[in-house]
Structures are given as C-alpha cells and as structure tokens.
Structure 1
Amino acid sequence: MNRKQLFEIAENWFQQQHWKPFAFQKETWTAFLQGKHGLLNAPTGSGKTYALWFPIVLNYIKKNPDYKSKHKKGLKAIWITPLRALSQEIKQSAERITLDLDTQMTVGIRTGDTSTKERSRQKTNMPDLLITTPESLQLLLSSKGYEKVFKDCSAIVVDEWHELLGTKRGVQMELGLSRLKTICSDLRIWGISATIGNLEQAREVLLGPTSEALKNSVLVKAKLNKKITVKSIIPKEMETFPWRGHLGLRLLEDVVPIINGSKTTLLFTNTRSQCEIWFQKILEKHPEYAGEMAMHHGSINKETRIWVEQAIRNESLKAVVCTSSLDLGVDFAPVETVVQIGGPKGVARFLQRAGRSGHRPGKESVIYFLPTHAMELIEASALQQAVIKEAVEDRMPYLNSYDALLQYLTTLAVSDGFYPEEIYPEIKQTFCYQALTKDEWQWLLNFLVMGSQSLKTYDEYQKVEVEDDGRFKVNNRAIAMRHRLQIGTIVGDAVISVRYQKGGYIGTMEEYFVSKLQQGDVFTFAGRNLEFIRIKGMQAHVRNSTKRTNKVPSWSGGRLSFSSQMSQLLREELYKVASSKSTSKNKLSEELKSLKPVFVRQEKESIIPIPSEFLIETFKTRDGYHHIFYPFEGRAVHEAMSSLLSYRISLLSPITCSLAFNDYGFEMLSDKPIDIQNVLDNNLFTTEYMLDDLQKSLNSNEMARRKFRDIAVISGMVFTGYPNKGVKMKHLQSSSQLLFDVFKDFEADNLLFRQAFTEMFEHQLEEGRLRIALERIAKQKIVWKQCEKPTPFSFPIITDRLREKLSSEKLADRIKRMTKILMK
C-alpha cells in the first residue's frame, strides 16, 4: 500500500468519529512512515495520542497487506507513560483504532499494577502493542532472553517526555533506548512533550546527541491557538500585612458560586496537606456537597483514585480537590472549570492545569487563581504575562548519574549478561553519559565486581561475576531477586500504609509523620478523621473518629520553589508598580491595582524597588534585630544565598543568626545589629569563592549525606527490603550514612560519593541560578532602609518563621496582635 492509501484509511476513521485530523497529526504520520524519529510538541487534549498510534498501526498494515486474515504475533510497539494512571486511557485509544480497522493486533499493559497472572501470560505471549512505565521497561530488560522479545519492535513512544526530562527516570529512559536501538533492526523513537523552554535539547536528550537517530529526526509542533484566560479571585478587603495560608480559606465562599456554576470543577492545591484541609473545610461549611465532591492525591489508595477519575469522566462529581496527581493528561472528559489555590510556583505547571479545562482542541481554557496571601496576587499578574508571552521553563537534563548507570548495568547482568566493549559505545551515545571517560567506566565495572576500593573485603557488595569469555553476569539468584525488587529511581521517604484495625486499606503516609503520632492522636487523611492506634510492621492501624482535629499529614514534596522563569516575571510585575508613578504607560493589572493598600504602606515604611535597585530592610522587634534581603529568586535560591551571606557576615564580626526564607526574600534574625554598610563595603555579593564559601556555610556534609541515601539505594548498595517487609527509614539512613562516612574518610574519590555533592549543588541548591542572581545584584544599586517596624513585604517572611514554633491557633492570635500594633 502506498502512503496515499494508508492516509485514506486514517482519514475515513476520523470522518466516522465526525472529526478532522489536524495538520500536526498528518505531519507526524508522514514523518513516521518515512522512517524518521522525532519529538511531537502538543498540549494535553489536542489528539496527540492519535498522532502516534495511527502511524504505528498503518506501518503494520503497510508491511502486512493481508493483515485481516493473517496475523504474526509478537511485540511491535511500546508506549511509555510516566504515570500508571494514564495507561487505561492510552489502551482504550489504541484499541479503538485496532478494532475499528479490523486488525488482529492485541493491546496490553505492564505496570506495577499488572497482576502476576497477566505478567506470566505476557512472558509466553507478548501483546502487539505494549503500554508500560520506565521502571517496567527496565524490568523487561532484566528478564532472560529479552533480545528475542524486543527484536521485531518497530516503534517506541515516550509520552509526557517533559515530565521525565531532568529526572533520573529520564536517565533510565535514555539507557533503555540506547539498548533497544542496538537490538531492534527497524526502530523509530518518538517523544511527546507539552511545551518546555528547551524543546531542541529535549529532542537531543531523547535521541542521543551523537546518534544517527538525531540526524534523521524531526520536531513537529502543534500550532493550535489555545486561548487561556486567567481570572483572579480578588478579596473584597485587602489586608495591609499579608501572611501565608489564612487568606485562602477566607475566600472559600468565593469558590462556591464557581463550583455551583459548573458541571465539574477541579480545585488544584500545591500540597497533599493543603488538599486534605480544603476538602474538609468545604464539606464542613457546605455539607450539601457530600457525595458530590471527592479528593485525589498520590497517597490515596488506587481504587479510590480510579473511582474519582471515572466519576469525572461520567460528570457525576461537582468538585474534586486534587494535587498534581491530576496534572498529567489523565484523559477524562473536559472539566468545565479549574481553580488554582495558591501560587503554582512554575509557569509550565500552571498552563498544564489550565489545560485541564476546555480539554478539547480549540476550546478556551479558563482557570481561576485563588491567592493564599495577598502577595500571591503579584504571582497571578505574572502568570497572565506568562500566558501572553508564552514563557515556559527549561528542564535541565542530568549528567553523569553514576547510580542510575550502575543499576542499569546490574539489570543487564541479571538478564543475559553483557560484554563491556559492546555496551560502552551505546552508553557514550546518550546525553547523560556523553562525557564518561574510560577511567570512570573501568571504575564502575570494578565496582560491580568487587564493590568499591574500601569495601572489597565484604562479599555482599560483590554482585557481578566475570565469566571466562569476558561476559559480566549475575549468577546468584538471591542477588538477582533483590535487584529486580529495587529497579527504579524514585526514592521517597519510607512510606507506611494506613489501614483500619479491622482491615481495609486507606492509603500511604510518610514514616516521618507517623513517627510523631502518639496513641489516641486524631488526624485528617483521605477526607476522614482517623484515630491512631499503633504501628505494626510497615502499617499504621487506625479507626474512624468523631473528634475534631487540625492535624494533617505533611509530605516531603510540600515545599515547591519558584522556577527561574517565574521569578523573573514576578520581578517585572513588581518593577511596574514602582515605575508606574513616573510613567503612565505602565498599565497595571487588576491584581496589582487591588494591592494598593499594601503598596502604599510599603512605600511609607520603606520602598518598592525599581529594576536598578536591590532592597535590604532592617528593624528591631522584641524578637531581636531583623535584616531582610529581597532577591525575588524563589525559595531554593534564597536558602543557599542566606547561608552564604550569613557565613560571609560572620567572618567580619562573630554573630549568630537564625534564617527564614520564602519565595520573595530571606531574613537574618540576630541578637545584635549587623553593620550593613560595613558588610556591603566588603563585597558581600561577589561570586568569587562562592562554592568554597557555600560548602563552609551550609552543613554541606549533612546535605550531601541525605542525597547520598538516594544514590546508595539506586546504585544497589543499600537494599530497601522485600514487599510488605520494608526496611525502616532509620536503618536505611544509618546504613547509607555508614557508607558515606567510610568513603569520606578512606575513599574521597569514590564516584558515588562525589555525585552526592554534585547533585546537592546543582539540583538542590541550584548553584547556577545562585551565581546568576549574585551577578545581577552586584550590578544593582543597594538600597538599605532602616525601618521603624516590619513592612508589608517583610511580614510574610517573619510570620513564616513563627509558624515553625507555634500551633495554627496561637499563630493566628499572635499575628492579629502584631497587625494591630503595626496598624496603629
């Protein structure tokens, strides 16, 4: 069949659905059928699934003209999804095509949720089209005879590639693809990505920077003019001294008409705890929503999540309070309205969430923004600019993740074994390991066989044997089993499952939260008030309780920081306020106008900086001497910068100070005043010796030790335990700390030990962004304001520090008193 006939088959199918294929879909079909690789850039809900399932099926028809009567079994295409929750949707799309076109192709799913029975069936009889996750693909590579399974595979599609890029799961994908390129004789690799800033680099990482695949590839962009409207919920009365958290719930009644006016509303929160609180509070104030409202986040059990997703499809729920667990294209019928509670911290995340409403090509997306404190209205204004300018963040790929590489090499050794001289060139073609030297490669091979230099007397680290013909192979069944149980690169805090005492699974929580509970404590989880009874094994036993409580589990993902894109947009909005007095051409948004009382007070006590100024405020309260710096660079950068500056200040005069930071700035609180002028005269913001000073200022060993725990788990040095018999976090921490200390004292050039420090600086402290911020500040004029009392800009930072010490009731009372004094 020629291409024209194949296209007719596809276009007829679209006609039967009363649809018309988009230009980007046809462009993808053409490129695929020409044997090209590529990256498709298309928003959620634009028909990207059909853009790639179709050419895969058409390619099969082209190769098998008598496809209706004859069928050759075996794996023909793999679709990778980062979220298990998406696999059902993707399967339904594929089956619609394969059944409607009368092919005899089968579609199967292989994820952590796949039953043992289904897995063993797949062993003997692989489906034609397989939907799986990065981890399950690695598991397939760890099974004996995997080359036979994959050899006729003609396509691999990596969905939501922007979510995997810049994570170790992305690195895992790069490694898996490097192997499949060699095994499969006629393979096309395609990625699907929503908008990110560095699309070209995203394609390079997917296909390999020096590979033939990259030379024979295309970047297809879906040009769908999607209209996104951002509507802010502006409080009727604006407080002059904003603080985090309480304003959100005060606006609860403003959300009710939005919910009532739509069929289905998604309310996105940034954290699971915030999700729990909002769900409880709405039901408390509006019991009429009982049964019509649900909650969805990653720690709730799978059955409940699937039920919620299905209920959204059926439009049987009025509202769902959720976290990013519903961000990624769970393809349900479009919800009408999306509400974002609190600043989303990143443009891409916000646009992804906005796209959940009007989730159809050509439909307008409407997203309401509800601030949790007044300053977040500046974020809302910045997000509107982001929509206009189409400004989206880059995702920075990892380099030299030795831990992920060791895990992958062990995977190959567990299956059929590998020859280093065959695998090294494959790995060198990936983006992550393009700079891997021969010496580093040799070190990694030695590590697999002997453990590291300082551990070679311990048998447990000697996992891989070198056979007579030079093949690296795992022959010990126990080692192979433990390795398969631990394949993956997501290492969270140890999770404990929460069950009713009489059975019945509710969800999972982090050990850190559970360890602080005492018998009889009541907390809110999964929309219920639960009383804690005891911990048994890796389970927390609970019973329902009628007691009221304000204890909500906290999860470690709770503290998002501004992206660099978001920080820049925010600064630009603030500068507009300062310069709008001098020029009339800066039209202020409704959000900025509504903040007038805050800005008027800020100008009275201090200033609003213009682009050429950097603001420092100092004042004294009964807590001590406050020194507040405003880089507007996001929490992660401020954490590093505050440590760096306080260390440099301590070199000039011995002083102890406690630090607090948020997305706007940071505070140093000391028991005596700091002579700011003297500090500025000593070149405080220089980037010289930055890394040295940063290492001395932070407990860098402590932070690297925490990073090292993950590295030790991923590389297989530490075992996390058998199913339902997990190793306690304490033990994991102590065994990885022991290793860390051994390497620190006896083997400082150990690659995994060095990796812990690299990751801490590059990924956790965003060292690159810190350097750029310091260079920017060095060019600005420093304005030091000695204030009489706290200013509106400093108030959220001060109250955040108090939050750590006080319960929420006491905090609210204390803030009320503080505000009263300030308003006098």
Structure 2
Amino acid sequence: MIVAAGSSLIKKWFSDKGWDAFAFQKEAWSAYRSGKNGLINAPTGSGKTYAMLGGILSEYLSFQKGDYKQPRGLQVIWITPIRALSKEIHLSSKRMIDGLNIPWEVSVRTGDTSSKERARQSRKMPQILITTPESLHLLLAQKNAAKRFKNLKAVVCDEWHELMGSKRGVMMELALSRLKFTSKKLRVWGISATIGNMEESMEVLLGSDHDPQKTAFIKADIKKELEIISVLPDEVEKFPWSGHLGIKLLAKVVPIIKESKTTLIFTNTRSQCEIWYQRILDEDPELAGQIAMHHGSISRELRDWVEDALHDERLKAVVCTSSLDLGVDFRPVETIIQIGGPKGVARFAQRAGRSGHRPGEKSKIYFVPTHSLELIEAAALRKAIDQNYMEERTPYIRSFDVLVQFLTTLAVGDGFYPDETLEQIKSTFSFNSINDDEWLWCLDFITTGGDSLHSYNEYHKVDVLEDNLHKVTSRKVAMRHRLQIGAIVSDAMLTVKFVSGGRIGSIEESFISKLKPGDVFWFAGRSLELVRIKDMVVQVKRSKSKTGKVPSWQGGRMPLSSNLSEMLREKMQEAILNTGSDVELKTIQPLLNFQKERSHVPLEDEFLIEVFESRDGYHCCMYPFDGRFVHEGIASLIAYRMSLLKPISFSIAVNDYGFELLSDQPVPIQDAIDNNLFTTDHLMDDIQNSINASEMARRRFRDIAGISGLVFKGYPGKSKSDRHLQSSSQLFFVVFRDYEPRNLLYKEAFEEALEFQLEFNRLFKALARINSQKFILSEPEKPTPFAFPVMVDRLREKFIAETLENRIQKMQLSFE
C-alpha cells in the first residue's frame, strides 16, 4: 500500500500536467522500486528523463511514513555526456521535485561550475547531482570519497550510447565498479535513444557481475512518426560534385525557415555552419536578429544565450553542428533541416528528433543534398529509420591508459587495496579478461614507472604503505593528476614546412600519419614529397610528380556508417531496377541513365571498375559504396598490390561511394584482377606495407600518454603545446619500442590504430564481399557521373575555391 501511494502521487502529478504516463514509464518506475538495474530505450522526446526520475522519486514518496528516515547526503548521480544536456535534466528534475513538494536539492557539477559552487557542494552534497564522467572521477579523487558516496542509491547514465563507444565509457565502467563497492545497494541505470547493439550496451553498463534476475531492459513501444522531405533540385547534375555545400538550393531553404515557427539547420562542419549562416542572411536580410549560430568554437556564454533564446522563442532559426544533437530543451522547435548527408542513421534520427520533441508529436526533417548522388542517401535514411536499423557502438576494451589513470585517481583520493580493487575491475566489461601479469604491470607502472622508467622518481607516483594501501602522498602529484583527469581527445593539426624552411600551412594528423617518407601528396596547390614527421612538423620538399594522395579533412569527411552503406547499396538496386517508390530515386534516374549509357550501373552481385584516360593521366575508379574510411584503406591496399605486379605510382582520392587511382602510365588492372587483387589472404601484412602503421600508432600513442599520465599537459592557462606533447610522448614510444615492447600502453597504440582508425574489421568484410562479386571492367571514353565527384576531390588541393569551380564547370562541359 505504501509503494502504491508513491506511484499514485507520481501519476497524479502527470495528470495535473495534462499528461498520460506511457507504459514504458510505468514499467521503469516499477522496475526501479523493485531494486533492479537496467536500461531504458525510447525515442527522443518521449519522456525518458521522467521514466527514470519517476521511479526514484516515487520510492522516496512511498517510504516517507513510518520509521523510514529521511535520506541524507547524495542520493542520485545523473551522468550526462555533454554539459548542455545537464541544463535540461536540471530543469526537468526541478519541475518534478517542486511539483511533488519533495525537499530535495538538485545541482549541476561540470567544468563550467564555479569554484564557489563546487566548494559549497563539497560541504553539503545535494540529493541529486548532475555531472559528467570527468567530474565524477574528480570527486573520486577527493578525500573521504567513500563517505561521500555511502548513501548513494542510484547512478543514471543519460545518452549512454554517446559514452559507450569511447574511452569516457570505460571511465564510467570503472567508476561504477568502485561505487558499487562503496554503496552495496547501488542501482545502475542507463538511458538511450538510438543504438543498434542495445543488449550489448546494457552488458557494458552493468558489468559482468550483474544479476540477470535483477536486470530490466525496458523498450518503449512508441513509434516516433518521422517525416523526411528532400529538397529536390530543379535539374539533376549529370556530373555531381559536393563543393558547393548545398548552397545552390538556398533559395528553396529560406522559405522553409520563414514558414516555420523555429528551425534548426544542421551542418556537418563548423566552416559549413559559418557559410550557411552568412548565405542565409545574404539571401534574406530580414532574418537579421532572428537567426544565430551554434558550434563548438563559439564561446560558452554565446552558446548559452542561443539556447535560452531558442527556448524563449526569441530566435527563428539556428545554424548549428552536432553541438545541438543532444538534450537541449527546445520547447518550440518545429522544423529540422539537414544540410548534406549525416553519414549515419542514428545521427540523422537524433537530429530529426529535435523537432516535435514531445511525446506523440511528429518530427519533420528536410534533407538538403549537397550533390545529386546524396539523394540516394536520403532514400536510404528513410528505409533505415523505418526498419529501425541503427548503428552499433563498438565498446572500448582493455584501455590500459584509462585503467592506470583510474588507479591513480583512487590513490589520490582514499587510496586502494590491490586485491579488492582487482575484483572490482574484473567486474567491468572492459577489463573482465585482465590477467594477473597485466594487473601486476599496472601496479608496477604507477608505483615505480615500470621496467623502462623505474630510475626516474617522477614516475613513482603511488606509494605502497605498510598495510599494502596504495596511496599518493605527494601534493604535487595529486594536483597534477586532478588537472588532467579525462579521456577526451581531438585530432591534432600538424604544421607543414619545407625542409629548407618556410611554412605552408596545417594539416590533420589523421591523414598525414598514414603516409610513409617518400610518399607524395597534394597540399595548398602543390605536389609535395614527405621527408619526415618530426614532433608536430611535417617536413616536405617539392615534387615533380603529378600523382599523389589527396588529404581527407576529418571534419568535412565524415564517413558513411556501415548501416547506411548497406542501405545505400540496397536503394541503388531499387533505382537501377526501377522498383523503388522514393521520389529521390525517381529524381536521380537521369543521372543513372547517363551512367548506364556511358559505362555501367552495378547490380547487387557486381563490382564496377572503370578505366579511362584523360589529360590528367590514366584513371582507375572503383565503387564499393562502403564509406570514406574503408575506401582509404582499400585504395592504399590495391595501389600497393598493383605495384608488386608493375612498378607504378598513384594519386589516390576517395569519397563515400568509391575511389580513384590515377597514374601517368596505363594501369594493369586486368593482371591485378587475375592475381586475386581483392583477396583477404595476407591482409594484415599487406596493410602494414601499404600504410604507415607504425606512424599511426606513434600518433595514437600521444593521446594514450596523456590519458595515462606519462606526459603532463600543463596548468590552467599554461597548457603545453601539441608539439611539446608529441615530442615527449614520441620519446616514450621509442623507449618502449626498443626496451619494453610488451608495455601495455605501447601495444594498445597499435591495437587502437588498427581497430578505430583503419576500421580493419569493416575493411575485411568489404573485401570479402567484393571478392564474391562479379567484376565488371568498363572502359568508357570519358569520365562517368560516378567517377566525376571523386575526381573533383582530387582537384581540391590544386586550386583555390573560385578557380576550382571554374575548372569543374569546364570539365563538365568537356565531358558531355
């Protein structure tokens, strides 16, 4: 009866708001009150926050009477992956708590929280603390952490899918293993909207020691109505290219903005965001003052103002990036516009869900293609969402850099005993396979620096006290460790300079790390040969070669996900066979007809290879339709295997649909096919010979060194430069390579480069699929619609924007 009383009060609060509780929300309330752990999966805007909060508060309301003591101290930790999401959770929590007259305090603790507020929280913790993984680890690094968490009832991980596929997810796994030890009755819950491997994600969250009998997976039986409307061009380009960023359709986008109450315009890059913002104002100056921008490079104060202005209906539209994908409370947002392919089903669904962000409301999203072929992506997205075919998130496992950081965190706080801590760590998904030797290595690393660094006192961070308590006693070590707790990393920019001197510009590390000395690439309109990479400087010399690799810029080159690639191939089949009903497929028919007339359009069991000659040289184009990252790996592999048959050098360019190998001599493609060009045999050896795996691992190691505490990133306001960090981490990399090759951090660098940068497993599957298909070798007299966009990508680094556009127009005319 007491439990029912709490539940009825929650239902009454819903009723007073004019809401009807969904079945999944009631199920979540019941599961939480019965002591279960679990995961809630429901569409964006369906009330997931209240599904979790209702269970927590109804339990409190159910036991107010009798001998039940009022809970003291921290009761609930609510984890959010981004700071902006904490604002919505705080508002929702306050709304419900105040409405139910519960004497609980709700506070936010993130990197933006003032030192005064943090000090106040330390003196008296709120009942509900909304925080990030990094701030939670900082709390674990404080004295008396166990006492602070002893009354903790629940940890809620919001948007768990965003955390799981990163090292921040590993940080949460480790923190939860400690909190479950501190608070024996702790309940762990996750909230997720879009993820393909939901069951695995729950296993990662709850750990290998969870009791299936006390576990609940709650899936909302709510079909979110989503309308996808493509903004169609009046005429389909026969030779599509993505350089104009969709601006050609601007005149059709502005009326959508004006007809909607409020609109979010999602772009994939910050530069694209800036361009669209300015072009919209140029098209319609009356929108000045009614439109704003929101992306990660804008100050926090301005971003806060934009979010508040949207909420209060003071803005009509915001041009944004992924900075607004999640969790900001936009009460009035009516319409979403996506500029260009989002490259992932889940990302698109998440963005679409920002409109109609209320239970039962319809979401509407307009898709603006940046070139004609992207219309097929729109049809593929529609089918994937109809089938709820969302991407999986690959969890990080055995991230020893995060583990040694965590052990130091515990040592900075209350300290830890190895035996009981190992038991906790083995309960996590990430480290359930850790063996005794690896564990002893971790302990040795934090106490003595390991085999290679034991002679240097600065790496003796953790002391072993008489009772085997591992604890940091140095104030300097403790302070420096707290300053760099976290696992968020970003791709560094490297300076490109001539060996003889003279700066050319900056280039992304993810591209340049794949090259070997002697490789030629195009940059800033020049053909350059890589001499060496030293620290954060790419030293080059001029090259007379007309062939070379073309840089891929990560921000503007997001790859197609495996799910969307698969759907894209299916929609291509429908378009070829004329069996699809999507308006986009009908619109794209003239382009496909022209492709078929000039060359071939491949069926599902066919793989198209086009070979032709132009004034640039001999072209070999292939179309796996598997996404940019996979194509980068396959292209380098194929170029290497061809060079074994005949000494030949290539320029390599890729896009999401295919890749181009360009040479100054005929390409021996038939000989290569006859020699099993796409075999998966000896794949690892061939990849390592075709791509500079060692340099990729070396660059990856910089982040590992930072996370593990091998290098110190600097004090606030005096952070060390990327160049300094790279230099320091490179020294460690060389030392471990030469003297300690079994070092777990050194080995981790190679494993991560293979799994996350090369996407080896996906590349392997793509090659296996291609090898089973029938090869169609076409020799068109002129470039085809499929070949043209990848050729344009190769030309980008040779011309400035205006010259490039003029060149492309001439090419289009000459290729007719």
Q: For the residues of structure 1 that align with 2:779 and 2:556, how far apart are their CA atoms?
A: 34
Q: For the residues of structure 2 that align with 1:455 and 1:215, how far apart are their CA atoms?
A: 47
- Residue in structure 2 matched with residue 804 of structure 1 by the alignment: 797
| Alignment counterpart, residue 640 of structure 2, candidates 643, 647, 653 | 647
Contact 2:2 2:63 in 1 (8 A): no
- Residue in structure 1 matched with residue 258 of structure 2 by the alignment: 260
- Residue in structure 2 matched with residue 2 of structure 1 by the alignment: 2
Contact 2:7 2:62 in 1 (8 A): no
Root-mean-square deviation (CA), in Å?
A: 1.8
- Residue in structure 1 matched with residue 456 of structure 2 by the alignment: 458
Q: For the residues of structure 1 that align with 2:49 and 2:210, how far apart are their CA atoms?
A: 26
Q: Are residues 1:43 and 2:37 paired?
A: no
Q: For the residues of structure 2 that align with 1:570 and 1:11, how far apart are their CA atoms?
A: 45
Q: How does 1:247-286 map to 2 (within 5 A)?
A: 248-286=246-284
Match of 1:615, as an amino acid?
L
Q: For the residues of structure 2 that align with 1:349 and 1:72, how far apart are their CA atoms?
A: 40
Match of 2:41, as an amino acid?
N
- Residue in structure 2 matched with residue 449 of structure 1 by the alignment: 447
- Residue in structure 2 matched with residue 175 of structure 1 by the alignment: 174
- Residue in structure 2 matched with residue 200 of structure 1 by the alignment: 199
- Residue in structure 2 matched with residue 93 of structure 1 by the alignment: 92
Per the TM alignment, residue 602 of structure 1 is displaced from its structure 2 partner at its CA by 0.7
| Alignment counterpart, residue 431 of structure 2, candidates 430, 433, 442 | 433
Contact 2:194 2:350 in 1 (8 A): no
Match of 1:43, as an amino acid?
P
- Residue in structure 1 matched with residue 670 of structure 2 by the alignment: 677
Q: For the residues of structure 2 that align with 1:691 and 1:468, how far apart are their CA atoms?
A: 48
* 1:186-240 deviation line (CA, Å, top 9, x unaligned): 211110001211111111000012x134441010011112111110011001111
- Residue in structure 2 matched with residue 77 of structure 1 by the alignment: 76
| Alignment counterpart, residue 338 of structure 1, candidates 336, 339, 344 | 336
Q: Are residues 1:120 and 2:113 paired?
A: no
Match of 1:164, as an amino acid?
L
Q: How does 1:511-526 map to 2 (within 5 A)?
A: none
Stretch moving more, 257-266 or 463-472: 463-472
Contact 2:72 2:151 in 1 (8 A): no
Per the TM alignment, residue 71 of structure 1 is displaced from its structure 2 partner at its CA by 4.7
Stretch moving more, 162-171 or 555-564: 555-564
Per the TM alignment, residue 82 of structure 1 is displaced from its structure 2 partner at its CA by 0.6
| Alignment counterpart, residue 776 of structure 1, candidates 769, 791, 796 | 769
Q: For the residues of structure 2 that align with 1:557 and 1:78, how far apart are their CA atoms?
A: 33
Q: Are residues 1:817 and 2:810 paired?
A: yes
- Residue in structure 2 matched with residue 187 of structure 1 by the alignment: 186
Q: For the residues of structure 1 that align with 2:21 and 2:288, how far apart are their CA atoms?
A: 41
Q: For the residues of structure 1 that align with 2:787 and 2:251, how far apart are their CA atoms?
A: 28
- Residue in structure 2 matched with residue 695 of structure 1 by the alignment: 688
Contact 2:5 2:62 in 1 (8 A): no
Contact 2:3 2:63 in 1 (8 A): no
SS at match of 2:350: helix
- Residue in structure 2 matched with residue 34 of structure 1 by the alignment: 34
Per the TM alignment, residue 146 of structure 1 is displaced from its structure 2 partner at its CA by 0.2
Stretch moving more, 755-764 or 95-104: 95-104
- Residue in structure 2 matched with residue 17 of structure 1 by the alignment: 17
SS at match of 1:718: coil
Contact 1:45 1:329 in 2 (8 A): no
Contact 2:174 2:425 in 1 (8 A): yes
Q: Are residues 1:731 and 2:729 paired?
A: no
Per the TM alignment, residue 555 of structure 1 is displaced from its structure 2 partner at its CA by 8.1
Per the TM alignment, residue 596 of structure 1 is displaced from its structure 2 partner at its CA by 2.2
Contact 2:261 2:332 in 1 (8 A): no
Per the TM alignment, residue 60 of structure 1 is displaced from its structure 2 partner at its CA by 2.2
Per the TM alignment, residue 765 of structure 1 is displaced from its structure 2 partner at its CA by 1.1
- Residue in structure 2 matched with residue 663 of structure 1 by the alignment: 656
Per the TM alignment, residue 66 of structure 1 is displaced from its structure 2 partner at its CA by 7.0
- Residue in structure 1 matched with residue 562 of structure 2 by the alignment: 564
Q: For the residues of structure 2 that align with 1:460 and 1:814, how far apart are their CA atoms?
A: 58
Q: For the residues of structure 2 that align with 1:17 and 1:604, how far apart are their CA atoms?
A: 62
SS at match of 1:368: strand
Per the TM alignment, residue 141 of structure 1 is displaced from its structure 2 partner at its CA by 0.4
Q: For the residues of structure 1 that align with 2:710 and 2:506, how far apart are their CA atoms?
A: 22
SS at match of 1:251: helix
Match of 2:133, as an amino acid?
P
Per the TM alignment, residue 512 of structure 1 is displaced from its structure 2 partner at its CA by 6.8
* Cα distance, 1:285–1:570 mapped onto 2, change above 3 Å: same
- Residue in structure 1 matched with residue 469 of structure 2 by the alignment: 471
- Residue in structure 2 matched with residue 143 of structure 1 by the alignment: 142
Match of 1:792, as an amino acid?
P
Q: Are residues 1:604 and 2:597 paired?
A: yes
| Alignment counterpart, residue 588 of structure 2, candidates 582, 592, 595 | 595
SS at match of 1:190: strand
- Residue in structure 2 matched with residue 306 of structure 1 by the alignment: 304
Per the TM alignment, residue 245 of structure 1 is displaced from its structure 2 partner at its CA by 2.7
Q: For the residues of structure 2 that align with 1:787 and 1:462, how far apart are their CA atoms?
A: 66
Contact 1:494 1:728 in 2 (8 A): no
* Cα distance, 1:356–1:818 mapped onto 2, change above 3 Å: same
Q: For the residues of structure 2 that align with 1:95 and 1:383, how far apart are their CA atoms?
A: 37
SS at match of 1:338: strand
Q: For the residues of structure 2 that align with 1:79 and 1:65, how far apart are their CA atoms?
A: 26
Q: For the residues of structure 2 that align with 1:455 and 1:697, how far apart are their CA atoms?
A: 34
Q: For the residues of structure 2 that align with 1:355 and 1:384, how far apart are their CA atoms?
A: 14
* 1:364-417 deviation line (CA, Å, top 9, x unaligned): 111100000111001011111112212111111111101111110110011111
Contact 1:334 1:360 in 2 (8 A): no
Q: For the residues of structure 2 that align with 1:72 and 1:191, how far apart are their CA atoms?
A: 23
Contact 2:465 2:471 in 1 (8 A): yes
| Alignment counterpart, residue 792 of structure 1, candidates 785, 789, 792 | 785
SS at match of 2:246: helix
Q: How many residues align?
A: 763
TM-score by length of 2: 0.91
Q: For the residues of structure 2 that align with 1:146 and 1:206, how far apart are their CA atoms?
A: 22
SS at match of 1:711: helix
| Alignment counterpart, residue 318 of structure 1, candidates 307, 316, 319 | 316
Per the TM alignment, residue 72 of structure 1 is displaced from its structure 2 partner at its CA by 4.6
Per the TM alignment, residue 811 of structure 1 is displaced from its structure 2 partner at its CA by 0.6
Give the % identical residues. 56
Structure 1 runs of 4+ off > 4 angstroms?
493-496, 510-513
Per the TM alignment, residue 67 of structure 1 is displaced from its structure 2 partner at its CA by 11
SS at match of 1:367: strand
Match of 2:278, as an amino acid?
Q
Q: For the residues of structure 1 that align with 2:701 and 2:748, how far apart are their CA atoms?
A: 8
Structure 2: which 5+ residue stretches go unaligned? 495-504, 509-551
Q: For the residues of structure 2 that align with 1:764 and 1:493, how far apart are their CA atoms?
A: 11
TM-score by length of 1: 0.91
Match of 1:567, as an amino acid?
S
Match of 2:126, as an amino acid?
P
Match of 1:40, as an amino acid?
I
Contact 1:61 1:67 in 2 (8 A): no
Match of 1:36, as an amino acid?
K
Q: For the residues of structure 2 that align with 1:454 and 1:493, how far apart are their CA atoms?
A: 28
SS at match of 1:267: strand
Q: Are residues 1:219 and 2:212 paired?
A: no
Per the TM alignment, residue 495 of structure 1 is displaced from its structure 2 partner at its CA by 10
Per the TM alignment, residue 494 of structure 1 is displaced from its structure 2 partner at its CA by 6.6
* 1:95-126 deviation line (CA, Å, top 9, x unaligned): 12222222211111111011100111111110
Q: For the residues of structure 2 that align with 1:251 and 1:357, how far apart are their CA atoms?
A: 22
Q: For the residues of structure 2 that align with 1:27 and 1:805, how far apart are their CA atoms?
A: 60
Per the TM alignment, residue 588 of structure 1 is displaced from its structure 2 partner at its CA by 4.0
* 1:250-280 deviation line (CA, Å, top 9, x unaligned): 1001001101110101100011111111111
Q: For the residues of structure 1 that align with 2:67 and 2:670, how far apart are their CA atoms?
A: 81
* Cα distance, 1:292–1:388 mapped onto 2, change above 3 Å: same
* Cα distance, 1:79–1:622 mapped onto 2, change above 3 Å: same
SS at match of 1:246: coil
Q: For the residues of structure 2 that align with 1:149 and 1:512, how far apart are their CA atoms?
A: 46
- Residue in structure 2 matched with residue 542 of structure 1 by the alignment: none
SS at match of 2:778: strand
Contact 2:571 2:580 in 1 (8 A): no
Contact 2:268 2:555 in 1 (8 A): no
